[in-house]
Structure 1
């Protein structure tokens, strides 16, 4: 395979400036996080990178650095499938609430994406609608109206959304027609343009041939119709190597989240290639057997139903239609005898070295030879002509514009029975099918080898198909991969396979195209399981024979436990004090948020009657009784919630902190209502985060090391594309041998961040041994639990009170530093972290909580003096001073000679 040249990283000044601001302690907005009015009104929870993208946009609008620059045109460069439309939905609410924008123009270049987005943002009955059924902001119901023209008289609390193709909007701009929107209409009220798949809008820039009536010119006309119009562009594909595109966007790229990062963060399927010299017919039967194996594996091993979809990709429509007919004939004539013959033949030619996944599927059918008649019946049913979509089209139109739009856009639905798609054109932008597991590139014509343009189209197809399928597992859905990469579970349920023709020039072009997209893939050959063994020398020590590692016990929580609001962390005894910001202050759209001076403030008593309370509870859906009852099982009526046993609001005084400029009689009824809403929204958040069915306790149990620390086996993920990012990535996993006695295993399969941590601790071993007879670093790899004597997953859980967020699932810190002398034993949990720090902050909070709440910790076995400790996340170059903290815990002082970055 050809090696990829490292492309030069071009500077992006705006993005670099925002990254610097995000890391600066002097940024006034550094504590800003995604507001509740966004998180509570969206169906999906923002992922860390979506929150970061929104935060960067917020900085660009309110930061003092941008006060005189009017950042009105930005671009979000985010991977296919990473949730750009979710981010758009959040940005709409942000711009509406913070800056009063009511008019939003969504632009795209195909009807397919347009139809999908109409469902996403306006169709409440669609499974893909992104907002909650009722949108509420500060107690007000917000309506989203799909319109063709922005109304002259605009209603309060209404968002107007015009969704259109860029072709139609440009036509309206250039050729004035009745009932169409011209330039002057975009000057009447401020407008936000949301440009999806924005790489299509820069054709003029790309060619240096700006035409008077180009799409690009039309968009620019709308943006410049008034100073406060905004243009937010979104694309996964931006050709910054083109000097004209780079010059246009270098100061507009606000955030980047690349495809390889998306895959490494486990938000997508893995991608594997199966390279075959088989005939198309044999490839068809192989993929049918593999697809059906996926369905059966999920059902038999995990008691869950998935419907894996196969796409057959051709170069020409006539070849695709012919392949469709051959496929129908293959399924129609399949018999037990012909299947046995095929399996026997495949056993001779398909091994783990050719394709691990196909070998697993074939092995399954050979082991179930007694059930082949049932299997053949199932295949004939599952792959019947009635379950095939022939979506052949021209490359200009796009499959979503054909008659199969509904079927193609709902392939994940339980009522949609289609299993196969035949198509020529690439997966068009906007087709976000999640349960596509196999793409088969048919040979069509032996004389045709993929050109660079063809293979780039196919690489984009693979990238779109890699979106993760959030199938049910143990009654729960996840939007990240749940199994260890390269495990059988992940290969079958979390990997998309691209079945390619085995033609050298085609494969070279395909790999080059995958590299250009930063799409990590590898051949579907079996990566060997690497053995990680406990050192024989360690097994001779008393630590191995008698030592323990400690984790806290969990208990079930009954409904009876939640007998009062203090069990949720809610104070219902003290008087209520609510800071209030005057809504009467006038400000401009660039002023960001209203800031009142409370240095000269006082607490004003708020007098209200029961009508206010019931109105607030009616406005906020959390307090509708059916919902409230889910979180407070013992509650009998909604009125009871206000009483002495719960919120106790009638026996408490409500104060509002206001500036001296506001007199005691200044509060109107609406302002009183607003004040109470703020308080009730805060209480709702506390109740939701405080309710759970299972909780950790402060009781720690010692688990014998010799029973829970054991030999295990693990694979190292193997990629042969997207090397540029992977090579410099702290998450790139490799095997390292560690001969020194302090490490209990003979090796570790770890990333660079973890390796750096091990090396830094290794430097401190002599100093630790001055105080402790036994000093060991234990890698707590979850793989070892599969091999351990009791197959028991050890996890650390939240306990006690005062956590900002409640997380029930617990987690396994990656390392334990085991320190023991004649007087006591110290166990320090250490968790290295390369990314997702914000998203997983609760884990670090738990580790530091342990140190601050030693009095809450008790031990099942009190025969020795045990100390359980935790430290902040270890990040690259020890940016959080974790090593310094370890020294303070272990030695009561800093390590000698700490380097600058460790201090």
Structure 2
């Protein structure tokens, strides 16, 4: 892709995305503050991630706030980002909110179809995405796989038909018995979930005539009920769509409802890192290298405390089936003939090669040579682990892959019961394969092509292999990278996919180009020793370093005895309950949008404790044994329903906001019950989030600067591909820091952080004029004390914080956080410690971090509520708004006012 084309793709406009995002932050929009319904997460195996919730939120906006609501939308989301989890959530959403019962899942390959069958309808599969028991509003919901949607449908049932797009097209255009023709899609509303949707734009792309019928078939289904009130829907999903082509962009411009590109997915930490090992070694030597690395990766994992089964998988990618079969034979012979002497000779020879600069391989070599006395056992273990029985060749003589038994083996590789460590496959293995514990991909050179098409296939395969493996560490799983920024080797070996390829300039140029085109961030796995960051000797001689302190608030244990009432969970429960009746879909006597309906509030005389009891019966959370987990002082259900500290049901009165023309008798018992159920579901969320075992306090403790500001090591992340999200602010580099106000000799920071340092530097002289004893900027990098438990002390925790400056309720976040910078000021009267946190992100990630900003501003607004030790009266602690690019939030203006120096109009000419 040319530079011009790339730029044009980045500036493409997608109105649905823009409108939904604007509505999310618009205080006057009814969509503002929309929360994904609780029943979605409650009925899925996996808790949806923030970006998946945002995708559902965007779709909800299009279906409830746009008239007419779009029938056809596209979710353009990265490989590995959990599109099938999102589909499962959307199925529940469309069933409950829009009364869709029939869902057609379609895709162009049988391999993806079989995988999705496991995901959506096969309850016995380890990959099934729904809970065994699906329950919404107290009703059991059933999922049934069908070949044809039944004319007479059972209550509380979701019907799912899974079919290839080829078969859907054939059934539509060729009349046959017991197949779904166009009339079936006309009779009942259907929501089509079209995966790998880039294959359905063949006619748009003017490609081969045979595929033209696919797009035509899907469009016929979509339009089949256009004359009816409830229409058919089409939800497309793909990671690959070429918006640079005008025809494709014009087709999808008004249909894209959510964008989550691969580079953002990887930047957000939901994938492995990707490193290339570029080598001149022949295929056989590459095989032995990757065996040694994979086995060392396994040993390293267990040494670091990884629990459960850790089984790193290798994939050998060949251009042709015959080549793959031959490579498989060579591999088996290599394992059979492996011995200690040859292994030692091989490692020592590899270490002598100038071309072998791989950091990961050097770690493996050193391990084996340092354990030479154990090599006999290690060789036996290698022979056992890589025995031919543990090698899977995903090819047959016809070139088909992912079929029958091979499909099952390939899609259960991370299962503890699977013994496979190696997969041999051709380059077609790009869609439908979501193995997580793939750590090494090796390019077999024999007959391999180095053209643009071949390297793009490789790049797509790397993207799939980069999916994060949620291994257990000390009994805990994580679904995001844990070790970003660490100087240890944990990230390199436990959170990195290595692609072993050839060191040939023209090929590498094309591969890097393909990776850039995909925005897939990778770099060479070359030796990258950490850089030592030192505290300046001049600063060590100052009184600030010798006797000064930095202050953070303490966290305290919360005893069960504290949870003695409903208010302790952040629930403002009053005897007079005010709710709105959901009357949006009901007919009124005049045509008007919901927003303009005149309303009134009336008391509901028929409301009593029976509605509370009935709602509790329908909600599984409120079974006493479960409720007791979150309300430890609860004595009985009677106590919960009638106790004055809890629901106090005997004294509750319900008031409903309803359309002005409604009368009390218009309110049905079912509507009152639904309002009650919704209320208790909101309380359920509060009970779960409010039952916490630690919380912040207003007690601030000073920690000696000399103990906590110390020399530390840090690596610079190196990537040579992809335009990372916000690259202009996020790219990390090392800078020499000669100025005395910065206490370290160097700074390893991103561009946004460096911009902040430079802007503060421009006003140091003014600060020194007022704060004549000390003006220092501390970089609080967690690397400087990562291995020390005491680093947990250097974190801020929320305390006394329920309402922010805008008067909005703030969710409680138990995890502490360490702002990146502290501006330390001292004059003859007091210490002044100001926390500063740069934030280069935007959109959803920025919003998810705003609780940190609320805490920083709370410090500033509540100085009088802080408590210090008796000898620490002259301490002032404040926080600033997030510092963003070009100071868009006017953070420095806040700083200048706080420190009472001028400067907002005195920026030097030409600064940024």
TM-score under structure 1 length normalisation: 0.91
Q: Deviations over 1:717-741 (max 9, x none)?
A: 111222x446844211122333333
1:355 to 342, 355, 358: 358
1:384 to 384, 387, 394: 387
Judge which range, 30-39 or 697-706, deviates more. 30-39
Are the structure 2 counterparts of residues 639 and 111 from structure 1 closer, same or farther at C-alpha, using a change threshold of 3 Å?
farther
Judge which range, 209-218 or 156-165, deviates more. 209-218
Q: Deviations over 1:288-314 (max 9, x none)?
A: 111111111111122434211111111
Q: Deviations over 1:687-736 (max 9, x none)?
A: 111112232222211111111112222111111222x4468442111223
Match for residue 339 of structure 1?
Answer: 343
CA contact (8 A) 2:392 2:420 kept: yes
- The alignment status of 1:607 with 2:607, answered yes or no, reads yes
CA distance in 2 between counterparts of 1:9 and 1:710 reads 47
Judge which range, 761-770 or 617-626, deviates more. 761-770
Match for residue 647 of structure 1?
Answer: 646
CA contact (8 A) 2:193 2:236 kept: yes
- Count of aligned residue pairs for this structure pair: 888
Match for residue 403 of structure 1?
Answer: 405
Residue 451 of structure 1, CA deviation: 2.4
Are the structure 2 counterparts of residues 776 and 731 from structure 1 closer, same or farther at C-alpha, using a change threshold of 3 Å?
same
CA distance in 2 between counterparts of 1:543 and 1:716 reads 30
Match for residue 850 of structure 1?
Answer: 859
CA distance in 2 between counterparts of 1:733 and 1:90 reads 37
- Where 1:404 maps in the other structure, the secondary structure is helix
2:264 to 256, 261, 264: 261
Residue 788 of structure 1, CA deviation: 8.0
Are the structure 2 counterparts of residues 718 and 395 from structure 1 closer, same or farther at C-alpha, using a change threshold of 3 Å?
farther
Match for residue 285 of structure 2?
Answer: 282
Residue 874 of structure 1, CA deviation: 2.1
Are the structure 2 counterparts of residues 139 and 405 from structure 1 closer, same or farther at C-alpha, using a change threshold of 3 Å?
same
Match for residue 881 of structure 2?
Answer: 872
CA distance in 2 between counterparts of 1:421 and 1:72 reads 41
Match for residue 421 of structure 1?
Answer: 423
Tell me how large the CA RMSD over aligned residues is: 3.1
Residue 359 of structure 1, CA deviation: 0.2
Are the structure 2 counterparts of residues 22 and 403 from structure 1 closer, same or farther at C-alpha, using a change threshold of 3 Å?
same
CA distance in 2 between counterparts of 1:177 and 1:451 reads 44
- Where 2:893 maps in the other structure, the secondary structure is helix
CA distance in 2 between counterparts of 1:424 and 1:196 reads 23
CA distance in 2 between counterparts of 1:314 and 1:627 reads 53
- Where 1:410 maps in the other structure, the secondary structure is coil
Are the structure 2 counterparts of residues 593 and 396 from structure 1 closer, same or farther at C-alpha, using a change threshold of 3 Å?
farther
Are the structure 2 counterparts of residues 652 and 376 from structure 1 closer, same or farther at C-alpha, using a change threshold of 3 Å?
farther
- Where 1:400 maps in the other structure, the secondary structure is coil
Instruction: Give 5+ residue unaligned stretches, structure 1.
Output: none
CA distance in 2 between counterparts of 1:396 and 1:326 reads 20
Match for residue 805 of structure 2?
Answer: none
Judge which range, 427-436 or 838-847, deviates more. 838-847
CA distance in 2 between counterparts of 1:599 and 1:771 reads 58
- Where 1:837 maps in the other structure, the secondary structure is helix
- Where 2:553 maps in the other structure, the secondary structure is strand
Match for residue 551 of structure 1?
Answer: 552
- Where 1:730 maps in the other structure, the secondary structure is helix
CA distance in 2 between counterparts of 1:499 and 1:42 reads 37
- The alignment status of 1:438 with 2:447, answered yes or no, reads no
Residue 666 of structure 1, CA deviation: 4.7
- The alignment status of 1:829 with 2:835, answered yes or no, reads yes
Match for residue 794 of structure 1?
Answer: 794
Match for residue 322 of structure 1?
Answer: 326
- Where 1:713 maps in the other structure, the secondary structure is strand
Are the structure 2 counterparts of residues 661 and 649 from structure 1 closer, same or farther at C-alpha, using a change threshold of 3 Å?
farther
CA distance in 1 between counterparts of 2:179 and 2:788 reads 70
Match for residue 466 of structure 1?
Answer: 466
Match for residue 538 of structure 1?
Answer: 539
Residue 608 of structure 1, CA deviation: 2.8
- The alignment status of 1:887 with 2:888, answered yes or no, reads no
Match for residue 369 of structure 2?
Answer: 366
Residue 893 of structure 1, CA deviation: 9.2
| TM alignment of 1:703-714, pairs within 5 A | 703-714=703-714
Judge which range, 210-219 or 355-364, deviates more. 210-219
Q: Deviations over 1:37-82 (max 9, x none)?
A: 334333333333323333333333344xx435x5222222211001
Q: Deviations over 1:406-459 (max 9, x none)?
A: 2211112112221111111432312111110001112224xx442222221111
CA contact (8 A) 1:441 1:500 kept: yes
Are the structure 2 counterparts of residues 13 and 798 from structure 1 closer, same or farther at C-alpha, using a change threshold of 3 Å?
closer
Residue 511 of structure 1, CA deviation: 1.8
CA contact (8 A) 1:142 1:157 kept: yes
- The alignment status of 1:518 with 2:519, answered yes or no, reads yes
CA contact (8 A) 1:701 1:861 kept: no
Residue 255 of structure 1, CA deviation: 2.6
TM-score under structure 2 length normalisation: 0.90
CA contact (8 A) 1:578 1:655 kept: yes
CA distance in 1 between counterparts of 2:891 and 2:137 reads 41
Match for residue 315 of structure 2?
Answer: 311
Residue 142 of structure 1, CA deviation: 3.3
| TM alignment of 1:100-499, pairs within 5 A | 100-207=99-206, 214-227=213-226, 228-305=231-308, 306-349=310-353, 354-393=357-396, 397=400, 399-445=401-447, 448-485=448-485, 487=487, 488-499=489-500
CA contact (8 A) 1:273 1:498 kept: yes
- The alignment status of 1:48 with 2:16, answered yes or no, reads no
Residue 20 of structure 1, CA deviation: 5.5
Judge which range, 220-229 or 340-349, deviates more. 340-349
CA distance in 2 between counterparts of 1:55 and 1:263 reads 22
